[in-house]
Amino acid sequence: MKFVAVTYGTEGDTRPMALLCRALMDAGHRVHLLADVATLGYAAALGVPATGLAGDIRSALRQDALAKSGGGFADTASAFARIATAKSEAWLRTAAAAAEDCDAVVLGGLAAFVGLSAAEAFGIPAIGTGLIPITPTREFASPFVRPGTVPRWLNRTSHRLVNALLWRIFKTSVNAARAAVCGLPPRRSVWTDHPMLYGISPSLVPQPADWPPTAGICGQWLAPVTDWSPPAALGEFLAAGEPPIYFGFGSMGGLGGAQLMREALAALRGRRALFYPGWGGAVAADLPANVHLLADAPHGWLFPRVALAIHHGGAGTTHAAARAGVPSVVVPFAGDQPFWADRLHKAGAAPSPVPAKSLSADRLARAIDEANRDAPRASATALAVSIAREDGLKAAATAIVTLARRDVSGCGLQ
């Protein structure tokens, strides 16, 4: 079969989709990935054919968010919305050209509505994917709502409201693109009837009992752990003492500014640590002797070699830490990150989160001490044992092929 996969966002959006494309290719199918050009290096390393979509998400975050008020949530959300609304027509032109003669469109991220429109134009199945559970359920509130703020009886409503608000942001630009590119009529309400596959571990988010048969928790979408040769300096640092603390905030790395970095370094209290700057940028000269500056390193290889992981709570990093069996200290910035922080805390593998906007050296140091205790370590180990039984990529790839054949009953999601 032939598929086009379209997504847009940070590395956390593109990498799982690239892995899913690779799983489909390994099953004998043809796939072409469309995503932000700055995030396509990982796809290239996997051998996944890819084309860059118009725009530059990294520049959008830096210019629109950082230059204003230090990268708060409102600025970050506005940056995402601006680039998506400005590029909807260009994205749909690229997606429509790639979708011709395809059996289905696999979609996610900021380009989800564009992917749905491309599939509609060709009358082929649209299969949604994601690492954030947005299908309405009574079992938990929308991941974009701060945990604990919604009464249980409003959980399902919170999903519908958030999804409708997201559609409202993109509605005008998507409908204009639908008319200009495909001659499609305007959509009045958000799509609700297409399948949704989630690269989420059921050990962190069990399958909700009230989901439809076309929505499923497939298991984690992380790269298989393979042999990897670290740079000499990293290997020497790891061998020189006890397992270090990892800290890094991925694509959120630039949003906290110099003050957050100073507080985080002070919280280490001289402990050995590895720092991954992500999109924040840093040079080794900025760091004390007890901290090693990391280039990109596979989490699957790295995390089992650290004492604990301090991270922003992105879905991918959360799953990587859980799979490695190491405790986390989560410093959420925005979006769904508080949701994942809460999931790790409920699993016993992390203390209460330390939000980026209120981070202090003392508060982070206390969280580090708590994460180093026996109970979080035991919980993290148990979580890793459970996750090791999953093969989420294979399950998702199998479901995609079945759904592309329009066989909902055989998709195996329930």
Per DSSP, the residues of 45-102 read HHT--EEEESS-HHHHIIIIIIHHHSS-HHHHHHHHHHHHHHHHHHHHHHHHHHHTT-
Residue 27, CB-side half-sphere exposure with 13 Å CA sphere: 21
**Domain ranges within the chain, ordered by starting residue:** 2-220+390-410, 232-387
Share of the chain above pLDDT 90, in %: 75
Tell me what pLDDT residue 69 has.
40
Q: Which fold has domain 232-387?
A: Rossmann fold (3.40.50)
Lowest pLDDT segment from 155-169, 232-246, 258-272: 258-272
Which of 1.20.1250.20, 3.40.50.11260, 3.50.50.60, 3.40.50.2000 is the CATH number of 2-220+390-410? 3.40.50.2000
Average pLDDT over residues 251-258: 60
Write down the pLDDT at residue 78: 65
Q: What pLDDT score does 228 carry? A: 87
**Residues across the chain:** 414
Beta carbons within 10 angstroms of residue 90's beta carbon: 15
Query: Residue 62: is its pLDDT beyond 90?
Result: no
2-220+390-410 and 232-387 agree in CATH topology: yes
Q: pTM to 2 decimals?
A: 0.91
Task: Evaluate if residue 254 carries a pLDDT over 60.
Answer: no
Write out pLDDT tens, residues 12-57. 899 999 999 999 999 999 999 999 999 999 999 999 999 999 988 8
249 — pLDDT class (breaks 50, 70, 90): confident
At 406, is the pLDDT very low, low, confident or very high (cuts 50, 70, 90)?
confident
Q: In the structure, what pLDDT confidence band is assigned to residue 72 with cuts at 50, 70 and 90? A: very low
